[in-house]
Amino acid sequence: MKKILFFAATVLALSSCKKDNDKKDNVWKGAVKTFQQGKAWTWYEADESGKPLRIAIAIDDAAMASLDRQTGGGHNHANSISMQLPMQASATPFEHVMLDWNPEGHEPANVYTKPHFDFHFYTTSEGERLDIPLYDEAIDEFDNLPAAGFVPANYIAIPGGVPQMGKHWADVTSPEMQPGGTFTQTFLYGSFNGNVTFYEPMITEEFLLANSSFQRDIPVPTKFKEAGLYPTKMRIEKKNGVTNVIIENFVQRQAN
């Protein structure tokens, strides 16, 4: 009888472990890359039916504690890394990400000139992004803006453009855009040649260090070029020595 009970308990325990493992299998991790003196990577989570739940850029504490303070100002590609998403994230519109550390911030002056991170989630391939030239070499493409409705209301295009990124769009209702306002965290969009090409949480080093948990809404457009599941919230989540910047709460949109 004891042997039978032991066998039953073992089967039950293994069954429980199987269920836990199945849940873990719903999170996929991208390739780990060196970032500063630590590591960074992407991860993707789906529910049991395969619906996207979250996409994240993860930075370990070693990287956060060793951030380079040397820069020539502006968007410095020496402090940037491009990372592929797990293949399972193809269920979303996003193809790859770019993580940028800006020790002196960047333009516009006196707005985004605090030390901060840019977390670019691109809807284009890495090759397409790398082909974006200097602004002066492709003025028509940079200034070919998406039609009304494809960028959220209250967003304005920042003049010029950044090579290997695109044109940035800022929310005029954000605190840093107000007289005397301070930049802590914000959410930008990006475009190139008439198309929205990236979603971008932009967060100061100070804010990331001070907040172990944070969530905000993502302003959303009223029109979408392609049907699909798009994020509506952004989250900061710290655990186990890792800072995660997450886009989540995906909602189905129809093409316009």
Write the CB contacts of 196 (distance below 8 Å, at least 6 apart in sequence).
Answer: 123, 146, 150, 151, 189, 190, 221, 225
pLDDT band for position 75 (cuts 50, 70, 90):
low
Q: Please state, in angstroms and rounded to a whole number, the distance separating the CA atoms of residues 188 and 247.
A: 13
What pLDDT was estimated at residue 142? 98
Q: Tell me the torsion sign for CA atoms 75, 77, 81, 84.
A: positive
Task: Check whether 127 has a pLDDT greater than 90.
Answer: yes
What pLDDT was estimated at residue 21? 39
Q: What is the pLDDT of residues 220-252, one digit of tens each?
A: 999 999 999 999 999 999 999 999 999 999 999
Q: Please state, in angstroms and rounded to a whole number, the distance separating the CA atoms of residues 121 and 197.
A: 8
What pLDDT was estimated at residue 255? 97
Secondary structure (3-state) at 136: helix
Q: What is the pLDDT of residues 156-184, one digit of tens each?
A: 999 999 999 999 999 999 999 999 999 99
Write the CB contacts of 173 (distance below 8 Å, at least 6 apart in sequence).
Answer: 154
Q: Please state, in angstroms and rounded to a whole number, the distance separating the CA atoms of residues 114 and 112.
A: 6
Identify how many contiguous H helices and E strands the chain contains and give both numbers.
Answer: 5, 16
Task: Check whether 3 has a pLDDT greater than 70.
Answer: no
pLDDT band for position 109 (cuts 50, 70, 90):
confident
pLDDT band for position 15 (cuts 50, 70, 90):
very low
HEC assignment per residue over 160-219: CCECCCEEEEEECCCHHHCCCCCCCEEEEEEEECCEEEEEEEEEEHHHHHHCCEEEEECC
What pLDDT was estimated at residue 74? 56
Cα 205 to Cα 103, 114, 120, 144: the distances in Å are 9, 8, 16, 33
Q: Please state, in angstroms and rounded to a whole number, the distance separating the CA atoms of residues 231 and 192.
A: 20
Q: What are the tokens at 250?
A: 């995906």
Mean pLDDT of 48-61: 97
